[in-house]
Structure 1
């Protein structure tokens, strides 16, 4: 059994290969994404700031992670990242930002994580990958799946204002976002 809440000390760090250099200033696609809260969201139509953390895949306590998962730079850490955004949620709201997580996993799969981790925000599903393909988001292959590389976007009025890429370590991402928001209020 893998402890989904702990990050291994020898986790390989991802490198910035420029895969997100095209994103600042991009308008996000006007597509509705289903959320674990039962609502659908068009991120292009939301006013103000939105923090959108993109993650590869949440594991389940009763399941195995794909073979070699811990050796893929940036793959491991979805649970610690989600928990950090949960723990900093009130501060992020106070800084004027709403929060969503997004993966290519179906909503039914994401629902288990949202409930188990007591997330106060919705996880969004891009299972058909239309949204992520429109933005040309970076991906990787693992366990026979095409997954999103860990990236966090700050959206303002439907436009990408800032990009955190690569995100490492994932459990510090929410604090890094808070620091950025404080410096750019």
Structure 2
């Protein structure tokens, strides 16, 4: 069973876009977070989702939130994806799918594709929203509204 509203975000580590070590303890409990799991770099839906987060990124920053994208792609793939689409937020490489498993993100399309799930986390590290939808465009407006609600 995956993480749900009211659960505390677990600690995790991964390599970021530049190959640096990312430790969730450095951000959890310090600011609101949007952690989104997506299937694969450079696919139509994932590119749409990433570019939507990019286009709204300043709105998230204005609310003091950080956006973190996670997939099982390599650091090199994330770097190319990030540079190509000028993504200003953190991408983490989850090659062994440990983070995906830790969060309990399900597969979709009959178990063939990694799922697309977005978690909105408050300043205390508590999940206030889980948005599970393969429709990439739907995530941004729902998530931004949830961030807006915890700030106001």
Pick the TM interval, shorter chain: 0.7 to 0.9
Structure 1, unaligned runs of 5 or more: 1-18, 61-75
CA contact (8 A) 2:17 2:78 kept: yes
Q: TM-score, normalised by structure 2?
A: 0.83
CA distance in 2, matches of 1:37, 1:134: 23
Does residue 121 (structure 1) correspond to residue 104 (structure 2)? The answer is no
What is the distance in 2 between the residues matched to 1:126 and 1:45? Answer: 18
**Helix, strand or coil for the counterpart of 2:22?**
strand
2:65 corresponds to: 97
Larger radius of gyration: 1
Question: TM-score with structure 1 length normalisation?
Answer: 0.70
Provide the secondary structure at the position in 1 that maps to 2:69: strand
Q: Partner residue of 2:114?
A: 148
Kindly tell me the number of residue pairs found equivalent between the two proteins. 148
Instruction: Name the Cα RMSD after superposition.
Output: 2.4
Q: Unaligned stretches of 5+ in structure 2? A: none
Measure the CA separation in 1 of the matches of 2:78 and 2:57.
18
Deviation of 1:140 after TM superposition, in Å, equals 4.1
Going by fraction, where is helix more abundant, 1 or 2? 2
Alpha-carbon shift at residue 57 of structure 1 (Å): 0.6
